[in-house]
Amino acid sequence: MDQPTLTLRNNEERRLRAGHLWVFSNEVDIKKTPLTGFAPGQSAVVTASRGRPIGVATVNPGSLICARIMDRDPQTVIDTDFFRSRLRDALALRERLYATPHYRLLFSEGDHAPGLVLDRYGDVVVAQLTTAGMDRRREEIVAAIVAELAPKTIIFRNDATIRDLEGLPRGVETVHGPTPDTLTVNEDGAIFEVPALSGQKTGWFYDMRENRTRLCRLTPGRTVLDLFAYAGAFSVRAALAGAAAVTCLDSSETACAMARDNAVRNGVGDKVATVRADAAAFLEACAAEGRTFDVVSLDPPALVKRKKDLEAGLRAYERLNRLAMDVLADDGILMTCSCSQHVDAWELRRVALRAAMAAGRRGQILEQGHQGPDHPAHPAMAETDYLKSFILRLIRP
């Protein structure tokens, strides 16, 4: 099938030749190939200024990222068979990693399908389409999922704010099968339930699974504080791992209720106490009372959503880290995390160091983590390696 051409300006192909998948609107030779000539989501062959093909992409003329490379073969057609192939590749990895079908099945650029995220909850698949190219191929995506997985239900959680940048409407809908009330997660034997249509993101933070596993090794017999706990994933797993007592904090009563239910579901309701509070205010109150914890998990939402907010965001991260250290026992463990794309691992490390010095603590980095292997990072795109974490031991001199 013949596809239109999107031609780049002179020398603008270097980043793409090095493996990156995004084309920015200022890189296009609009005299040769005006962006206004493309419909949102249309496919095109991206070429260098002299006509050499780079790959096939989906185009959105109204977006800063105006094209996303889907395949390096310019003959590729982005149809149901394309998505089936991507799903088979992604599934082969996940089935090597996990014993049960509970994971991120497809991670956008990381799985060479920019704009498409799929999470699997047993026989339910939750999809998020974040680009015009994917939104235009809704039917093909559903057909591919049904053909490869035969799920009972497919839900589109297209309520992410990133769709605004693509000029796409937000919404949540069931596009295949019945709508369940809840999604069930099996994480290393712990069973959780979250709302099917109204939970955060696509329902569960699979990206933190391995970080939770690492930290749980340090919780037996210890008192634990889980900040920004959502549905209690770490709280419940820490209790199951042998923690003496767990305080599970979130600012949302809905989240606290989910965490309580999940603790009871796993037989640790007596060990997990939920607290609805602002994290900073709670930490300040604990410090004033002299209340301490042996292990603290600090996993806040993204505090730097735009590059121009980096300095203010780093100050916010440092304040939270300092407050968390103030309530750590003399020989305590802190896991500090950032899911902000604009905060790299070195910056988070410096945040932790400055907070430790301000708190009068000696720090040791025990482990450094990032998102789990069901969220593979694209080797040419630092943007896809978004989650950073450090597990630190903090000692009073």
Residues designated catalytic: 339
Q: How many CA atoms lie within 13 A of 59 on its CB side?
A: 22
In terms of DSSP H, where are the helices of the chain? 14-17, 80-97, 132-135, 138-149, 209-216, 233-240, 253-265, 279-289, 310-326, 345-358
How far is CA 274 from each of CA 182, 186, 271, rounded to the nearest angstrom? 21, 21, 10
CB 143 within 8 A of CB 116: no
Note the Cα 201 to chain centre separation in Å. 8
φ and ψ at residue 144, rounded to 5 degrees? -65, -45
Q: 130, 160 in Cβ contact below 8 A?
A: yes
How far is residue 243's CA from residue 306's CA, in Å, rounded to a whole number? 37
| CA angle 103–226–395, rounded 5-degree value | 120
Rg (CA), the chain: 23
Cα–Cα distance, 15 to 362 (Å, whole number): 42
- Which SS3 state, helix, strand or coil, does residue 351 take? helix
